[in-house]
Amino acid sequence: MNKSDTPLIKEIALILPFLIIFIIVSLSGFIPYLFNIPHSTLFHWNTIGHTILGILIIAPFTLYVVHHFKRTLITRRYFVLITGVLLVLIIIYLYSTGTYIAINGQEEKERWVYHTHIYAGYITFSLFFVHLILFFIKKKIQTRKSPINIFNVIGKKIILKALIGISSYGLTLLLATFLYNSLYQEKAFSSAQSGDKYEYSYGEDSPFLPSQSKTRNNQFISVNHIANSTRCGACHEKIFEQWTSSIHSQASSDPAYVKNVSLLKDIKGISATRYCEGCHSPVALLTGELSPGGQHGGIEGTKSFHEGVGCMGCHGIKSAVHLRGVGSYFFNPDNGYLFQNSQSKLATSIHNFLIKINPQQHQDLMSKDILKSPKLCSTCHEQFMDKSMNNWGWVKMQNEYTSWLSSQFSGQTEHSFNADDLFTCTQCHFPLIPGKDPSATPDGKIVSHYTLGGNSFIPLLNKDYAQLERVNKFLQSSRVLISIDAPNRNDSTQTRLFIDESIRNTSETPYFLYYGENSKLHITVTNRMVGHNFPAGTTDLKQAWIYMKVIDANNKTVFETGKINNDGFLDKSAHVYKTVTVDRHGKEVWKHNLFEMVGDTYKNIIPPNKSDIAKFNFTVPFWAQSPLTVTASLKYRKLNQRYAQWALDTAKPNIPIIEMSRDSLIIPIRDKPLVE
């Protein structure tokens, strides 16, 4: 070794720690990206190692750059200098984007930061070797030595230490993975929570029957892998707030549901509650609680009571078992990131940090294709009852998916053969709205989790007036329209003066009523933009009806129908949209005890894009002052009064009545001409 090589050796000694860490950081970032390595415990530990080493490299890099530039800036090795300056600049950008990702994570609207970080890594790695090659070429010119000789002096030492460093890093990752999998990792599947004597009351084909739910090998789910919505809210704050106001979050705690599921338990036993709980309380069903010794979701204080249909209640579903409903989903949660269910603040911070900086696995797990399909909704919003529950036979109940499928919105019928776009469940009930969230789109929109629908009772009960206002606006957004048909007449009197018919601007006959006439008015209700039947869901509990009032010019009532009396009951003459269910003896099943239902005696609903015409008769009194003003409105409430009194255990339940649509018409009154 010549004395001329001494500065080079010192330079290498100074850069070596930085160089070794740089190689490890580069490989730990490139290898998973290039080879698309699946997410695993090893992958997560590598992400942590990549981040830690990326931070540790900053100090030695800074010291080296300062020292190196002081020594080389005065030299005339222009190409070496230019590549060195470019290398420093690109590394600074690499560290800047890496630091930004470590602090802020990867948000959908800023994915470019992550991609440029990767590209900057490629450029850095390439530019580094270009810089070295130019340096060795220049060194050869100065020392008249071959680059191979220079490599023999310093290269072997670098390679040896690099291999030692890479091996140590790899062994550390393997050890951390082994210890985590052996000592800490909580499996997604578990034994039944209610004890070893789980009751298979409806057959041993599945522990979840009569619910149609399935899991891998019919195993029960660990409670922490399904009842963890609060953890999700740590990052998705706005979405969590929306979900908290939604009916999904209160599917178990809804007092009307609690009354029904408790009635079912008292009559048929806790195992029978699996029929309801698959949709209302998947936590209780899938963790094995619904067996003697366990508690159903309507028991206050339980996790299932407060969770309802939580985040994993939908996002843990992998596919639909079938499209007939009654909880017909395949639930298959995967083990997620490190320390997924830890109660430790440090471990939770590591878990959240991993999701933030590398959210692809989280996105893959939480955004399965089934979530974008109406088939997911069919698993709970279709319903049937069979002999195992009613001791009678198969009975069809809710059919929201079926009615959507037969509508013009599905693209599956001749009505929509030429339609370019479909209109799905999520577009209506989970629309994109402005919001700040890691999952926000590049234009700043998130999927709404308010799940607006027809339940205005729960928001009022919870004094969630903001949610109540949202429900009101949703129901009043011209999805269902009401209109009064003008009573056009063919017997209208005309002047005897000749009029050229070509000058008339309309061929429509005038409308009016005669005094003393038994008049007929037609009111049309059109299901314009509801993607399924109206009303939907539990139509035996809901009430939608036409309220019509006719007054004269002096504001005196001529005719009225659809009133609510002082006790909260609807006028029996009202034109109502609802279902009346009966048991095998023909007696009305008004408590929603569906296990006794065998059919309907009355069912009046409006399919999508269809209309219903209601006919009303009244006599025009001679005392009425012309003109008459006819007002018609479509009104709706979540629960009928009889059921609400029983379910809520109060004589005067406060169930909001919402006016969904309104129309009015002014009709002149004439004296009927004498017959000549």
Q: DSSP assignment of 364-389, as one string? A: HHHS-GGGGSHHHHHHHHEEEE-HHH
pLDDT the model gives residue 356:
86
Is pLDDT larger for residue 48 or for residue 5? 48
Helix, strand or coil, per DSSP, at residue 498: coil
Of 262, 300, 282, 302, the C-alpha closest to 208 is 282
How many other C-beta atoms are found inside a 10 Å radius of the C-beta of residue 324? 17
Per DSSP, what are the bridge partners of residue 588? 582
Name which residue leads in pLDDT, 499 or 318: 318
pLDDT digits (tens, 9 = 90+) for 80-111: 778 888 888 888 888 888 888 888 888 777 77
By C-alpha distance, which of 531, 503, 171, 211 is closest to 380? 211
Q: What pLDDT is stored for residue 420 in this prediction?
A: 57
Residue pair 621/558 in contact (Cβ under 8 Å)? The answer is yes
The rounded mean pLDDT for the chain is: 86
The first and second tokens of residue 5, run together, are: 């090589």
Percent of the chain exceeding pLDDT 90 equals 52
User: Is the model more confident about 186 or about 552?
Assistant: 552
Percent of the chain at pLDDT exceeding 70:
87
With a CB cutoff of 8 Å and minimum separation 6, the contacts of 131 are: 80, 83, 84, 87
CB-CB contact of 290 with 284 (8 Å)? yes
The amino acid that residue 70 corresponds to is K
> Burial level of 599, CB count in 10 A (0-12/13-18/19+)?
middle
Q: Which pLDDT value is given to residue 1?
A: 46
Instruction: Give the N- to C-terminal CA distance of the chain in Å, as an integer.
Output: 136
Q: Which residue carries 């010019």 as its tokens? A: 553
The total of other beta-carbon atoms located within 10 Å of residue 402's CB is: 18
What tokens does 83 get? 């590549």
- Write down the pLDDT at residue 143: 52
Q: How far is CA 185 from CA 41, 188, 422, 433, 547, in A?
A: 9, 9, 43, 37, 60
At residue 571, the pLDDT reads 93
Q: Is the pLDDT of residue 199 over 80?
A: yes
Least confident of 20-24, 34-38, 463-467, 630-634: 34-38
Q: How many helices (H) and strands (E) would you count in the chain?
A: 22, 21
**Cβ count within 10 A of residue 405:** 18
Least confident of 186-200, 221-235, 315-329: 186-200
pLDDT, position 458: 94
Which sign, positive or negative, has the C-alpha torsion 444, 449, 450, 454? positive
Are 489 and 511 in contact, with CB atoms under 8 Å apart?
yes
> Which sign, positive or negative, has the C-alpha torsion 257, 234, 98, 56?
negative
CB of 404 closer than 8 Å to CB of 608 = yes
Say which residue, 603 or 137, is predicted with more confidence.
603
The per-residue pLDDT for 99 is 86
Specify the CATH architecture of the domain 478-493+507-670.
Answer: Sandwich (2.60)
Alpha carbon distance 195, 270 (integer Å):
14
Whole-number pLDDT of residue 360 = 82
Residue 362 pLDDT greater than 80, yes or no: yes
Give pLDDT tens digits for 386-440.
Answer: 999 998 999 999 999 999 998 888 887 765 555 556 788 999 999 999 998 888 8
The set of residues, in sequence order, having a beta carbon less than 8 Å from that of 480 and lying 6+ positions away, is 525, 526, 527, 528, 529, 530, 534, 606, 634, 660, 661
Quick: pLDDT tens for 516-541. Answer: 999 999 999 999 999 999 999 999 99
Cβ 339 vs Cβ 350: under 8 Å: yes
Task: Give how far Cα 113 sits from Cα of 43, 98, 119, 472, Å.
Answer: 21, 9, 10, 41
Kindly tell me the sign of the dihedral angle through the C-alpha atoms of 304, 306, 312, 314.
Answer: positive
What was the pLDDT predicted at 136?
63
Strand partners, 561: 548
pLDDT band of 2, cuts 50, 70, 90:
very low
